[in-house]
Chain A
Amino acid sequence: MTTPVSSIRKSPSIVTPLAQPSFLNSVGAMWWRNLKVWMAHFWPSMTGSFAQPLLFLFAFGFGLGAVIDQMGNTSYLVYVLPGIVANAVFFQASFEGSISAFSRFHLQKTYNAILAAPVSLFEILVAEAVWAATKALVSGIAVLIVGLAIGAIPHPMMVIAVIPYIFLCCLSFATFSLFIMAYAKGYEFFSYFFTFWVTPAFLFCGVFFEVDRFPEWVQYIAWSIPMTQMIHVIRPMLIAPETLELSTATLYTVYVVVFGVVSLWLAHRQLSKRLFDK
């Protein structure tokens, strides 16, 4: 009845089981794990990634676009499309980095399981951010494809340059939600995050109209959320690349990057306390 000892070690011919455990391997392994779970829930995943952002595009692009014809020199649909892209990726990255990551950390104890393997918490957090950014990017690309198909992107070739930029921004959005997640004790906690972060981003960051239409104090809030910087880079890239100044774009990008790096550091600090009893 007992399996003979040899049956577990019967293949001495298997050489070097260890490839090379490394930072990239660890990050890739967890990214792959998240992808597998996402694929295991194929239809709900597809609905979240594609259907939801497209609903926004149709509702605001065509719905609101019917009321507002022109935004500056462009049609409202053309104007709002980059905003919808930004909103879609922002929402996805924020959701994945907060509620979904919290489920892995708190409910399924996935982080504990992975920490028992030769993987560090820093690697887990980087993997989570890269994964959230990947998932968000899929939604962004879905909107961009529809935008190309309906001719709502005046500079179609710029899509190629916009995609990596979106990915970079998503990393930053994701690490900030991981930082918030690191403080969560239960799911209720995320109502603060969605009320005071995700919803204001949707309303005030320039998705539907220019940020400068708001009173000054609202503008300060808007510019503190890095989605505003993102929209102010990708909108000109897709509509009128010649109007985008390099210095402005650099400044905005630096803000997005610093914001993301600081968030990652804070997330790591807080989760170290929680996971390692520090």
Chain B
Amino acid sequence: MKTIIKAQNLARHFGNVQAVKDVSFSVPQGRCVGLLGPNGAGKTTTMRMIMGLTAPTSGSLDVFESDASKLNRDLRAKVGLVPQEDNLDPDLSVSENLHIYGRYFGLSKEYLATRVPELLGFMRLTDKADARVVMLSGGMKRRLVIARALIADPDLVILDEPTTGLDPQARLLIWQQLTALKRQGKTLLLTTHYMDEAQRLCDDIVIVDGGKVLDEGTPKDLIARHVPPHVFELQKPVDAKIIKQNNTSEDLGDSMLFFTEKPQAITKILKTDTPYLHRPANLEDVFLTLTGRSLREK
């Protein structure tokens, strides 16, 4: 299998700030890789380096087996970017946005005449084809940004927080269509703050914090490696026996989390009327275990 992105010991500093210290990972063809990390972890800088918008201070970064900062025009045309910010043309209509963007890729009018309606259908924007972008909801704008990134039928699609701020329906549609892209064999690299999204879409996860890779693997492997499979959330006060027999627990303030291999050990101690939540461990548990629970504010 070909490697689409290969980052080795990537580092980038801005003055004294080490935004990325040592990041290595690779994205094989046809996989969806999620780059997860708290704010300030170095995700955006890494994405910008992949797009060739920021040069690494040291380390190497290859995209399509070429140096990312020196991609030629043909290779750049094979990358579609869904940026975090909505940088659509607000004064133009939905379909004009796509037509004009297609021109930057040198796409012919004939190709765009079929490609644009196709993409509008794919992103459920056909009814809005003639609406001006300023009239669109946040979810529609995101869908249009995704459609725009797909205009030249890219092999690699990079998505920077594709569903941030969207309602559940809009997220669901975007997930479905990203899954469809995966089935077509596209390679996807995405960042997100939503662990359910990452767990659902990504084949591989790379968790970064403080400019370094903390761990990587499939969502399943990461969960198996870092947290016991069962999670109980119990309201305080918690029975002392439970605290004693479980060494992996976390205090959330007015409740406690317990991670365990043996759920029965906890359920048999609990009184029948105690409200509790029992769920399987998920990627969020892994993420919080690895990166901590304290707020990241810069």
Contacts and interface: CB of A to CB of B under 8 A. Distances in A.
Interface of A: 1-3, 5, 7-11, 14, 16-22, 25-26, 28-30, 32-33, 36-37, 40-41, 108-110, 112-119, 275-278
A11 B122 CA distance: 14
Contacts of B108: 16-17, 19
B298 to A, nearest CB: 17
Contacts of B132: 40
A21 B75 CA distance: 11
A109 B87 contact: yes
A59 to B, nearest CB: 31
A14 B102 CA distance: 15
Contacts of B184: 5, 8-9
Given A3-B122, A110-B89, A116-B51, A21 B105 contact: yes
B73 interface: yes
B255 to A, nearest CB: 37
Contacts of A22: 106
B81 A116 contact: yes
B103 interface: yes
Interface of B: 14, 48, 51, 53-55, 73-74, 76-77, 79, 81, 83, 85, 87-92, 96, 100-101, 103-108, 110-111, 114-115, 118-119, 121-122, 132, 149-150, 152-153, 176-177, 179-180, 183-184
B85 to A, nearest CB: 6
12 contacts: A3-B177, A11-B118, A14-B114, A17-B108, A29-B103, A36-B92, A37-B91, A108-B90, A112-B87, A114-B104, A117-B104, A118-B77
A33 B83 CA distance: 20
A10 B177 CA distance: 16
A42 to B, nearest CB: 11
B106 A21 contact: yes
Nearest to A24: B106
Contact of B73 (A21, A33, A110, A114): A21
Given A115-B53, A277-B48, A33 B100 contact: yes
A182 B216 CA distance: 41
A2 B176 contact: yes
B15 to A, nearest CB: 11
A275 B53 contact: yes
A29 B109 CA distance: 12
B110 A40 contact: no
Nearest to B76: A118
| 3 smallest beta-carbon distances between A and B, as pairs | A21-B106, A117-B104, A29-B103
B87 A26 contact: no
Contacts of A16: 108, 111
Nearest to A21: B106
A117 to B, nearest CB: 4
A276 B55 contact: yes
Contacts of A115: 53
B111 A17 contact: yes
B91 A41 contact: yes
A276 B53 contact: yes
A32 B100 CA distance: 8
Given A33-B89, A40-B91, A10 B118 contact: yes
